[in-house]
Amino acid sequence: MSSIPRSTRRRVLKALGVGGTAALAGCTAPSNQEATEVSTTDRATPQEPSMNPATETDVDRIAADPTDIPDPIDRDEPTTHEVELTTKELVAEVEPGVTYTYMAFEDQIPGPMIRVRRGDTVEMTVTNEEGNSMPHNIDLHAVRGPGGGAEASMVAPGETETFRFEATYPGSFTYHCAVPNLDMHISSGMFGLILVEPKDGLPEVDHEFYFGQHELYTTGETGEEGHHDFDMEAMAAEEPTYVLMNGEKYAITPDGYGSPSIDVGDTARVYFVSGGPNLMSSYHPIGSVWDKVWQQGSIAGEPNRFVETTPVPPGSTAITTLHAEVPGPIKLVDHALSRVARKGFMAVIMREGDEQTDVFDPEP
């Protein structure tokens, strides 16, 4: 925990740009402003990418590994989880030759999946990495508390805050940064998923995967080489340059970082979070259907069965299952298909195994 008094920290945060719109994060800005104003507007001032060559990257990859998620919970009693997240501002490639300064929880998009059980307690610690230019925080939709924890976790660069909450209801839920200009922060990558398993757990499956969608608003055209700056006007008009799965164009595909695979006969559960900040996703698996869909992650109720396309609003989630009957790719897309063909959105799960010609025969 920071040793700086909360009142002093809030004055610093206001100087960094946390002002009147802080009500979105459940925060109240102080009237006594002792620190010097530092504008964050310059960071979002559009410039032509041709004036800004592609920048040296801080990480080779910003796209989260869809298989890197916590194991299912196998216990009967509640426990306490100590969850630590560091907010980072990182230059990475959206696609080869195109760089952007992302904001992220840890160094991945979506942020790390958090997995707890109903009745568990979570001690959430948020650190704003020293050297960052902006304040950050976290709003978890699994929290019953002011701003989902946003006010308690507001941190200036170099500072740390901790709060505690009980996971009182099951489901999968979005978490995201919720400072003023929260739409910019979410668009830049600051969102993820927290899963609260029911007390009796989830049905066993062979595989689990984790994906996240968001749109990115930049000064350049899709594919235009250079360093793209954030474009506030494009965001206000809801006209994104990119619509992305896991933060990069076609990242989780055979031509990207590779695709996870399942064998014919296997079952898989797929966790999906839509950060937004603006667009509804029409989430569809090309080459299959969702065997089960818990819309908005509502695992307390019965799932829908054999769903072709399920809507996922921004700031929401879905839990879906599928199984592999035949070999070949399952392409996870937003069925607003220009986002796939023009804006960079797609991931692939590969099915491996022998042909099952009784189900599908490509050469009868």
Whether the predicted pLDDT of 182 surpasses 60: yes
Residue 345 CA to residue 336 CA, distance in Å, equals 10
Whether the predicted pLDDT of 29 surpasses 70: no
The per-residue pLDDT for 51 is 58
Residue 20 CA to residue 27 CA, distance in Å, equals 9
Lowest mean pLDDT among 47-61, 117-131, 175-189: 47-61
Task: Tell me the torsion sign for CA atoms 274, 278, 282, 286.
Answer: negative
Q: Which residue has the higher pLDDT, 36 or 182?
A: 182
- Mean pLDDT, to the nearest integer, of 158-181? 98
The per-residue pLDDT for 52 is 87
Residue 353 CA to residue 334 CA, distance in Å, equals 27
Identify the residue whose tokens are 């592999």: 324
Q: CB atoms < 10 A from the CB of 362, how many?
A: 8
Whether the predicted pLDDT of 25 surpasses 60: no
What is the 8-class DSSP label of residue 333? E
Q: CB atoms < 10 A from the CB of 89, how many?
A: 22
